[in-house]
A and B are shown apart, each in its own frame.
Chain A
C-alpha cells in the first residue's frame, strides 16, 4: 500500500451510486447496487461475464439510465440524461468498443463533444491543446493527429478516447475492459497513462476480469455477481487471487449438473479433430478433438477466440491454416453447407442474430438445417415429420404452437428449438456456443439433459462457455483457450472454477515468463517450468528445455504422477532431491505479494548445482522488471 493512497482514502468519495437498479424488459440486470469512487484512486470493478459491471459503468457515465437509484457527484445529485451530460460534469467512459467517428481525424475526434456545440472552432487551438494533452500522457509520438480514426489500431483508438475525456477535463474516467484487445506492450503503456491520471488526482474505474491486471493497477476493488455487489470497496492488497475468484463465481454450486456415467477408457474413437487452426486476428493456434459420446468444453474468457475458432471451423470466417478431421478423414469445409453435409451441427452464440429466422414459425425454424442439408428441389420437410414429433415430445415443446412465431417463446424455449434443429439432421458432432446464455435456470438443466442424452447416443458434443461452473459440470474434458491459442487440455474432474479462471486468464506476462524459462535453461540446462500448485495437483502453464519432470504445458498432473513429487511437496526454496532429480521451486509474486504461480528448475542428479540464490535473483530481477514496466 503506497502512502499516497492512504491519504486519499480519508477523502470523501467523488462519486457515489446508491441503490441503483436496472431492468431491461423482464431481465433484472442490476439489483440495488452501489459504488464509490475517490479522487487519486483506481477502483477495480470486477465480476464474471454478465455480472453487470458494464451496465453499472454505463449508468455512471450516462450511457444508460438507471431504473431506480441515485448518483451523486461532488456532493450534488446527478441526473444524467445522456453521455453529453456526463461529459459536461466531468465523467467519461473509455469503452472496449470505442464511440468514435471512424471517418474523422484524430484531432476532430478528440474534440468531438466541442464540435457538437455551436460557436467558432479554432483548429489551431485544438491542435495545440491536443498536443498538450498527448504530451502529458507521454505518448504524443504514437498518435498522428491528422490520421483518420478508421486507420488506427485498437490501442490508438483507446488513446483517442482517453484524450477526448481529458480535453473535457474529465475528473472521473471509467475504463471498461480496456485491455481486451491490446498487446502486452500496449497494456503496459495504458497502465502508465492510468498511473499518470491517478497522480493527477483523477478518480479512475477499471472494469475487468483479468486478475493480474487488477492487482497491478487498482487500489481498491468492488466485486459484482449476477447484478449485485458482493464485495464493496475492499483494499486490493488485502485480497488474494483466490478470494477474488471466490467472490466472482460465488460459493453456491447448484445441483443442476447431474454428472453422467462416462466410460473414459479411451476406446471410443475420435470423431472430430481440429489441428492448428488459425484465423487471424482472433484465432492463432487452436487444436482440440472430441470422441464419440464425449462432451468437450472449450473454456476461456470472452474475446479469447473460442467463438471465432468454431466460426472458422464452420466456414463463416477465413482460415489461414489448420486441418479439420472428421472420423479421421481430412474434411474440406469452405462454407457452412460443407459442414452441415459432413455431419456437423452448430448452435451459434447469438441466438437472435445468428440462429433465429424471425419471420419463420417454429416449425420452419426447426426445419431450416434440414433444408440446408437436403439437395432436393423441394423443402424436404415431409420425410422428417415423425422425428419432429419425437423431438417435440422429448423437449416438452407444445405441438400446437408450431405455426406461431418463434419470437413468442421464452429464451429457453427458443434455444431448445435451435438445438432440436440440429438434432433433427442427426449429426455426428454438435458444436454449441454459449448454449445457456440468457436461459433461465430451469430450462438450463433441461438443455444439459438434452445434450447428455445426445452424447449417450454417441454424439460428440463441443460446448463453448464462459461460465466455468457450467463447463466443469457438463463437460468431461476441457480445452482452455487464451489469447487465440489452446493452452491446456484437462480432464474436468478435479478442476475447479478457481483453477480454470487462473489458467484462462490471459497473462500479460506469459511471453516474458516463457523468455525467462528459456534463459534459465540456456544458463543451467535441464528443464524449467511455470506451474500452479494446489493440494493435489500441479498444472503446468509453460515449460522449456529437456523433458525431465514429465509435465507438459497445459496439462494437469497429480503430484505423484510427475517425476518430481518430492520437490513439489516440499516447495522449499532450495534444490530438493529424492526424485532422482534436483528441483528448485521459486514462487513468483507481483509487487503486492500475490501468487502468480511457481517457477521451477529441474536438473539431473549428480551434476554440480548452481547457487539457488543466484537463480532466485535472476527470477526476481526479471519479475521486477516486468513490474517496473507496469508501474
Chain B
C-alpha cells in the first residue's frame, strides 16, 4: 500500500517537472510575454531597465492591480463589474470627506463599507433578481459617478491629512509599502481562490452554475460576494490613489473598469466565467502598465498609446486562441 502510494507520488512529481506540462500553463506563457516585453522595451529605451523605473512600474500597478483582483472574482463567476471606476471615484470623495473629521483608519474602513455596500446592491440585483450583470453595473456606474459629483460639489477635495501619504511613501526592506500591499492582496486572493470552499465555489459557479447548485454549494452567497469584494477593493485602491495625489477628484477612475477588465482578460480569464487565475491577472496588469510605461519612455504620443495597447490586447488574445486550437487538435 505504502509502495503504491510512494510511486504514485513520484509519478505526480515527475509530471510536475514535465516541461511541456509547464509550458501548457497559461500563466507561464504570460510570464514569457512579460519577459519578452521587458527585453524589447529595455532595448528600445535605456531608461526602462533601471531600478527607479521598475519601482515606477510597480507603483503604477498598485491601483489598477487592486481593482483587477475584484474584477477577477466577478469575471470568474461569469459576471462583469462596469461600475468599479465610478465606485472608485465615489468612494474617493467619501474617503476625502470622512478624512476631514475622523481618524484615518476609521475613514478608510467607512469608505470600504460604502464600496462593499454598492457591490452588495449590484450583487443582489444580479444573483437574486437575475438581472444581467452588464446592465446592473452599467446603471450603478452612472449612479455612482453622478453621486460623486453631487457629494464633491463638482470640485476636487484637497486638504487631506498630511500623514496619509505615509502609506505610499514609506518602505519596508527597501520595498515601497504600497507595492508590498499589492503583493499581499494577490497572495491572499490566490490562496482564497485556490484553497477555500468559497474560492472554489466562485470558480464552479462560473463554470457550471447548475452543477454547483446541485452539489449543495452556496451558490447564491458566492454569486453576490464577488461584487462586494470588487466594491470594497475599489475603495482600497482609491486610498492609495488619494495618498499619492493628496486630493479627491469626482472624475477619478474614469475608464479604470476597462483597464481592469483588459488586465483580467489578458491574464487568461474567460468572460463566460470559470476560467482564469489571479496570477494571470497580476501578469495582465504588469503587461498593461509596462506597455504604457515603455511607450512613455520612448516618447510616443499619448494619443497613439491607446492604439498600441488595444492592438497588443487583441494580438495576445489571438495568439492564445491559436495556441488553444493547436493543443486541442493534438
Contact = CB atoms under 8 A, between A and B. Distances in A.
Do A and B originate from a single complex? yes
Interface of A: 314, 316, 335-337, 339-341, 346, 348, 353-360, 364, 368-369, 371-374, 376-380, 399-400, 403, 421
Interface of B: 8, 11-12, 15, 195-198, 200-201, 203-204, 206-208, 210-218, 274-275
B291 to A, nearest CB: 29
B197 A360 contact: no
Contact of A376 (B11, B15, B197, B206): B197
Contacts of B207: 357-360
Nearest to B16: A403
Contacts of A340: 215-216
B196 A379 contact: yes
A400 B216 contact: no
Given A378-B195, A380-B197, A336 B216 contact: yes
A435 B275 CA distance: 28
Given A371-B197, A379-B200, A357 B211 contact: yes
Contacts of B211: 353-357, 368
Most buried by A among B8, B215, B274, B275: B215
B214 A314 contact: yes
B323 to A, nearest CB: 16
B329 to A, nearest CB: 14
A337 B200 contact: no
* 9 nearest A-B pairs in the assembled complex, by CB-CB distance: A372-B216, A340-B216, A337-B216, A359-B207, A359-B274, A372-B215, A368-B215, A357-B207, A336-B216
Contacts of B215: 336, 340, 368-369, 371-372, 421
30 contacts: A316-B213, A336-B214, A336-B216, A337-B216, A337-B217, A339-B216, A340-B215, A353-B208, A353-B210, A354-B208, A354-B210, A357-B204, A357-B207, A357-B212, A357-B274, A358-B208, A359-B274, A368-B204, A368-B217, A372-B215, A372-B216, A373-B216, A376-B197, A377-B197, A378-B196, A379-B195, A379-B197, A380-B197, A400-B11, A400-B15
Contacts of A400: 8, 11-12, 15
B143 to A, nearest CB: 29
Contacts of B201: 371
B197 A316 contact: no
B200 A355 contact: no
A374 B203 contact: no
A624 B216 CA distance: 53
Given A353-B208, A371-B197, A360 B214 contact: no
Contacts of A358: 207-208, 274
Nearest to A344: B216
A377 B192 CA distance: 10
Given A368-B215, A403-B15, A421-B215, 8 more contacts: A336-B213, A357-B203, A358-B207, A359-B203, A360-B204, A368-B212, A371-B197, A400-B11
Contacts of B214: 314, 316, 336, 346, 348, 354-355
Contacts of B206: 359
A288 B203 CA distance: 36
Contacts of A341: 216
Nearest to A393: B4
A356 B8 contact: no
Contact of B216 (A354, A355, A357, A369): A369
A359 B275 contact: yes
Contacts of B197: 371, 374, 376-380
Contacts of B195: 378-379
B217 A372 contact: yes
B79 to A, nearest CB: 16
Given A379-B197, A379-B200, A380-B197, A357 B208 contact: yes
A314 B215 CA distance: 10
Nearest to A337: B216
Contacts of A377: 196-198
B77 to A, nearest CB: 12
Most buried by A among B12, B201, B211: B211
A341 B212 CA distance: 15
B200 to A, nearest CB: 6
A357 to B, nearest CB: 5
Given A353-B208, A379-B197, A360 B203 contact: yes
A378 B208 CA distance: 21
Contacts of B213: 316, 335-336
Contacts of B196: 377-379
B289 to A, nearest CB: 28
A376 B207 CA distance: 22
Contacts of B198: 377
A399 B8 contact: yes
A368 B201 CA distance: 9
Nearest to B220: A335
A208 to B, nearest CB: 30
A342 to B, nearest CB: 10
A348 B216 CA distance: 13
A470 B62 CA distance: 61
Contacts of A421: 215
Nearest to B207: A359
A177 to B, nearest CB: 25
Contacts of B217: 337, 368, 371-372
